[in-house]
Structure 1
């Protein structure tokens, strides 16, 4: 186990501390000597951060108020979840998402409240708002949710349960809904795009006129840190993005520049790409590449006085540099 928290420091408990966002958040937290971060993880990370008190847990629902995990903890930042997957294998996906994302989250929050934790920061998802902003204005934090898939539905139900718990117990609940997160070490489709560009492959995405919001890893972490203490954050919902939306064409162009490999983009009409994707059974992928999903972060900016510390090009450069270093190993 890594270094124990100092009793003179304010305790912060992070679930999902070994994940993409969790590790970056912990790196930020240990840099502040006023905080004593503790991480709940399902398995020991390959590389533990000095100054973080790592603790294993089995199921979220089993983390009770007398477990000792909440001792001296002021704030919980809850990242652990059953994430959205492309190739679902569960026979009842919604039940599985609810078991972890709803039941587990609410059990953890109830235990936190019983243990005297002051604030519970829940990292939700833009999927609570919906799947697309084609032909409509960007999503806002306080509009009526309209999730469509089991993951988004489970996150919405967890949000609703947390708000009810806040009313019953006085626990301060802060909900943050990020859009797609990218940054050093990013995987999945974003990494695939970097692979395509780095190999110099011609891509049929030179005429995509959609708009999509993204959020850099460092920007999301900065927002979560802001929510730890900001008095206006209590019992509010915030959307997280870089505040600069890009089309798929623009993203590939800027990412190619960051990699030093100018994007070779062919101006294939979006309607052709959508039709081909549907025939190939890749409709969901085509919606992400050709459709729009924008969020309005005016509430986040104004209520918290927050602005993303990194602009898009800075964040893409950091992502590309890390990717290229990994290719050289």
Structure 2
């Protein structure tokens, strides 16, 4: 196997590279990392190609002899980059892949933004057959376009593509900072957009945890997934026969329930809940298809996610990195 990875320097890419190169099952796998602004260290099994994903000559050089592609690269809410990187870059990658006689499978890491995340209401758990209904913003739009492009290349050219659709990907202490009322809050939505200033100030002054409530007034249920489970799903999808031309939801077995989260934190730390009314909708990504066809199941549940996030201690050489606004 010869694997091309885009986004190798990102949150998922770094974990994937270390897992892949350490896995005895991939001892013979050669890896090409297509890097632009940041890079990784080359080894005897890892070659780096520098340049833009939207440059056909750069992509062609990276694609030579590649059997599988893992497309992890993305830009978030950056309208000035969305078309050139996400749309043109996807097209250039697909064109180079279908022209490559060694090509076997193209795996795209997508997101639940393509089905609207907490912005769109669903009457039942969200499956892979539900229509794409993106939430506002260019990032969600480009993920829909990428998914459709890969799907159409299957119809048009018989290309073997697989989509893994993940929600907010957690690592290290991400969850702790996602739930922080301080200026160090990670991701979104920002509490200042949802709470009166005096309520937010009071929450910051004590030991409190947020309980977002959905449009019906119930504690919001929102999907998360740990990066370890994303990596295991990606490595499974690389060559699993049942992944051919399929889309899979990849998430925790149950969404994070803000009410359950507050109860756990109350027992652990004595934190008191702060209700935050929102217009968001609770949703539930159904991952049973991945379990049935791939044998993939998440290993990190809510209790484990909390334990890891609150136990994690950062070293001086391990600064917090906000990979994207959230």
- For residues 141-185 of structure 1, the C-alpha deviation after alignment (integer angstroms, 9 at most, x for no partner) is 111111132221211112111112122333210011101110126
Aligned pairs for 1:1-329 (under 5 A) are 10-32=1-23, 33-45=27-39, 48=41, 53-64=46-57, 67-83=60-76, 85=77, 93=79, 96-116=81-101, 117-132=103-118, 134=121, 136-149=123-136, 150-184=138-172, 186=174, 190=178, 192=180, 201-203=206-208, 205-206=210-211, 208=213, 209-252=219-262, 254=264, 262=269, 264-268=271-275, 270-271=276-277, 274=278, 287=280, 291-322=281-312, 324-326=313-315
Tell me, in whole angstroms, the C-alpha distance in 1 between the residues paired with 2:284 and 2:141: 19
Cα deviation for residue 139 of structure 1 reads 1.4
Cα deviation for residue 326 of structure 1 reads 3.6
- For residues 113-158 of structure 1, the C-alpha deviation after alignment (integer angstroms, 9 at most, x for no partner) is 2123211001111111113265622211111111132221211112
TM-score by length of 1: 0.76
Task: State the secondary structure of the residue aligned to 1:221.
Answer: helix
| 1:279 aligned residue | none
Cα deviation for residue 189 of structure 1 reads 5.5
Q: Please tell me whether the aligned partners of residues 32 and 49 of structure 2 are also in contact (alpha carbons under 8 angstroms).
A: no
CA 72–202 in structure 1, closer or farther in 2 if over 3 Å, else same: same
- For residues 250-298 of structure 1, the C-alpha deviation after alignment (integer angstroms, 9 at most, x for no partner) is 33554687xxx61512353x43xx4xxxxxxxxxxx84xxx42321111
Task: State the secondary structure of the residue aligned to 1:68.
Answer: helix
| 1:282 aligned residue | none
Tell me, in whole angstroms, the C-alpha distance in 1 between the residues paired with 2:264 and 2:317: 22
Tell me, in whole angstroms, the C-alpha distance in 2 between the residues paired with 1:301 and 1:320: 29
TM-score by length of 2: 0.77
Tell me, in whole angstroms, the C-alpha distance in 2 between the residues paired with 1:222 and 1:254: 27
Comparing 218-227 with 303-312, greater Cα deviation is found at 303-312
Task: State the secondary structure of the residue aligned to 1:23.
Answer: helix
CA 177–135 in structure 1, closer or farther in 2 if over 3 Å, else same: closer
Tell me, in whole angstroms, the C-alpha distance in 1 between the residues paired with 2:68 and 2:176: 31
Comparing 97-106 with 309-318, greater Cα deviation is found at 309-318
Task: State the secondary structure of the residue aligned to 2:260.
Answer: helix
Q: Please tell me whether the aligned partners of residues 213 and 243 of structure 1 are also in contact (alpha carbons under 8 angstroms).
A: no
Tell me, in whole angstroms, the C-alpha distance in 2 between the residues paired with 1:222 and 1:303: 15
Cα deviation for residue 229 of structure 1 reads 1.0
Gaps of 5+ in 2: 186-203, 214-218, 319-326
Q: Please tell me whether the aligned partners of residues 60 and 96 of structure 2 are also in contact (alpha carbons under 8 angstroms).
A: no
Tell me, in whole angstroms, the C-alpha distance in 1 between the residues paired with 2:50 and 2:150: 21
Gaps of 5+ in 1: 1-9, 275-285
